[in-house]
Structure 1
Amino acid sequence: MEKADIKEKRQHATGWIPYSYYASAIPDYFANVPLHWHEEFEINYVLHGQGEFLCGEERFIAKDGDIVIATPGLLHAMFHCEKTAVRYETVVFSADMLGIETQDRCNATYIYPLVNGTFGITPHITPDTPHYSELRTCVSTIIDCAKANNPMADLLMKSALMRFFYMLWNGGSVTARDKESRLSEMLRPALQYISDHLTEALTIEQLAKSAHMSESYFMEQFKHLAGMSAIAYVNQLRIRRICELLRTTTLTISQIAFDSGFRNLSNFNRQFRRMMGCTPQEYRKFNSGNKNLLNLSNGCLLTA
């Protein structure tokens, strides 16, 4: 089974513009970021509040000023802490920004191992991390350049990224990575099955069977890894898909719901309102034509 089949479908980078910038808030803009992975690097900077991050099997609370890093291929997710909102900025970028296409000793020693997973970066960067002040300055520059989004800013961004990774290596924040944990590996077939059959009827029996586990053990382990039940995870992915279709198509709401895996409209409306804080009709009214939102929004109005 190919790992690439369960990666996030959103395109974050192109050959011409190899990065994307997102301003986010949980739970104001979206309920949470479901478990996923992509082939680009990701840097998150927490502006205000605190949120719970899951990177691999490492779970931690990030707060004001913290930096969270996800390397290519790493399963990661984010959840809001109860009664606490979090606002943060994200830059997702291709290894092309690091000159990965150049075959030299620097890339072979320090960049390729991060891309292929031989080495990993400590995902949670705090004020106690070596070189934190310089790392934070680099991240600030990277974010500003991503927001500027022009060729001159790209040049500065590349230099800031290079310095950022230099400081990570120099400060001991990069270490050899063991092979993917047994739990993550065991659950990947279930994630693959969900991805392949998201618009179809899904049961715990099917998912547990795909992971070669009993139903009770599967439910327990999935919640441990993903931070939510398997059914809640499926519903989040479906609602995420529905939100995009509501924003970008003129299909009827009932057709979108049916095509996204919901067979009962009453259940769909209940799930949508619980997760989004509004009805599908209200969501479409306020967000029609907006194609640039990351993941799920919460509260209909998507202004910062």
Structure 2
Amino acid sequence: MGNVAAMEMQAGQYMGQVPFSASMGGVILATSQHEFGAILPAHYHVNPHFTFVLEGRYEEAFAGQRVQCQRGDLLYHPAGCEHFNRFEHAGAACFNVEISPDFLLPGKGLRAMQQQRVLEAPQMKQLLRSILQEVTQPDCFSESVVVGTALQLTGLFMREQSPRLAESQAIRRVKALLNDASSQALSLLEMSQTAGMSASYLCREFKRATGLTLGEYARQQKVARVCQLLAHTRLTTEEIAFEVGFTDASYLTRVFKKVMGITPGDYRKML
């Protein structure tokens, strides 16, 4: 970024074309589009916001890191975090959900989250899509739904990203096992042996540390992997089921719909 001062982007302000913007109860929504070859100079936003990549791909640089963003990715940008973007290989379109200071309490708490992140969180992505659907097909209740969904989004994000001081090394080992895409279904006995504690105690400690049961956590990790494969490969549902470790495509579809609210086929069509 050099020594050039970063540009300040005010509430609802985005570079490129902004074909849609709206403000609903402290939630500012905007779509932004960028042409192939565009380079956005160093800038920062006065409000924290979530960006969901609707199409295309680009590079984003921040805090000494460079990440490749593509369709289906979700990013969190803290207030005041400098970054710049390059669209050297394709154009892109993004949907942005910005949380202003006059939003409800979780919006204020969101300002404590100062690290920019790429989020692998199926539930959060689904909430972004729900908000997008409300603004593309609005009715007289849409504003209430958008505000409620944004509140759920910020609360879920804060829960996921806040440091869990009570998370022990044993719980981290179990999470690593459940995060391993190559791991097949592990029994509760195997996980408790890895953690070095009884099965019942592991279940209680894991729920206390993560807010999820072992089964819920494992399903979310698998669904996150399925989302990646649906977005970035041409694999069939049957092939993805085998790749991720589901017994068959029918079971994958049931689990995916329970977590995401839509089928894998509908998710791919939306992308």
- TM norm structure 1: 0.42
**Which structure has more strand as a fraction of its residues?**
2
Bigger RCO (CA 8 Å, 6+ sep)? 1
- TM norm structure 2: 0.46
